[in-house]
A = this chain, B = another copy of it.
Amino acid sequence: MNGADALISTLVANEVTACFANPGTSEMQFVAALDGVPQMRPVLCLFEGVATGAADGYGRIADRPACTLLHLGPGYGNGVANLHNARRAFTPIVNVVGDHATYHRQYDAPLNSDIATLVKPNSIWVKSADAPDQVSALAAEAVAASYGPPGGPVSLILPADSAWLEAKGGPVIAQKPVRPAPSGEAVDAAARALRAARKPVVLLGNQACRAEALKEAARLEAAGITVYSDTFVPRQRRGAGTFLPKKMQYFGEMALSELEGVDLMVLVGTAMPVAFFAYPNRPSVLVPEGCETLTLAERSEDSVVGLAALADALGAPKEGPVQPLVLPDAAPTGGLNAYFAGASIARHMPEDAIVCDDAVTSGTGVAVGTATARPHDLLALTGGAIGIGLPLAVGAAVAAPDRKVISLNGDGAAMYTVQALWTMARENLDVTTVVFANNTYRILNVEMTRTGAGQAGPAAARLLDLGDPAIDWVSMAKAMGIPAVRCTTAEEFDKAFADAVAQRGPMFIEAVI
Q: Which residues of A contact B (CB under 8 A)?
A: 21, 23-26, 28-29, 31-32, 34-36, 38, 42, 44, 46-47, 49, 73-75, 77-78, 80-81, 83-85, 88, 100-101, 103-104, 107-111, 113-115, 117-118, 120-122, 160-161, 164, 232, 271-272, 274-278, 280, 284-285, 382-385, 387, 412, 415-416, 418-419, 422, 425-426, 443-444, 447-448, 450-454, 456-460, 462-466, 468-476, 478-481
Contact = CB atoms under 8 A, between A and B. Distances in A.
| Most B Cβ at <10 Å: residue of A24, A38, A450, A458 | A24
Given A73-B121, A77-B122, A84-B113, 4 more contacts: A42-B462, A84-B111, A107-B275, A418-B418
Contact of A451 (B28, B114, B479, B480): B28
Given A107-B284, A111-B385, A454 B32 contact: yes
B416 A32 contact: no
A145 to B, nearest CB: 19
28 contacts: A24-B444, A24-B447, A29-B451, A29-B452, A31-B460, A35-B457, A35-B458, A44-B465, A73-B121, A77-B81, A77-B83, A78-B387, A80-B80, A107-B272, A108-B271, A109-B284, A113-B121, A114-B120, A115-B121, A117-B121, A161-B280, A164-B453, A470-B481, A471-B481, A472-B478, A472-B480, A476-B476, A479-B479
A118 B84 CA distance: 11
Contacts of A458: 35
B444 A23 contact: yes
B444 A25 contact: yes
B74 A81 contact: yes
Contact of A164 (B83, B107, B452): B452
Contact of A110 (B34, B111, B382, B426): B382
A44 B452 CA distance: 22
Given A31-B463, A84-B73, A444-B25, A471 B78 contact: no
Given A77-B84, A426-B468, A463-B31, A276 B110 contact: yes
Nearest to A161: B278
A464 B26 CA distance: 14
Contacts of A451: 25, 28-29, 160, 164
Contacts of A111: 84, 276-277, 383-385
B120 A35 contact: no
Contacts of A465: 44
Contacts of A110: 88, 232, 276, 382-384
Contacts of A47: 387, 415-416
Contacts of A274: 104, 107-109
Given A114-B121, A457-B32, A463-B31, A26 B277 contact: yes
Contacts of A425: 469
A283 B104 CA distance: 9
Contacts of A472: 478-481
A303 B272 CA distance: 58
A460 B32 contact: yes
A472 to B, nearest CB: 4
A292 to B, nearest CB: 18
A21 B78 contact: no
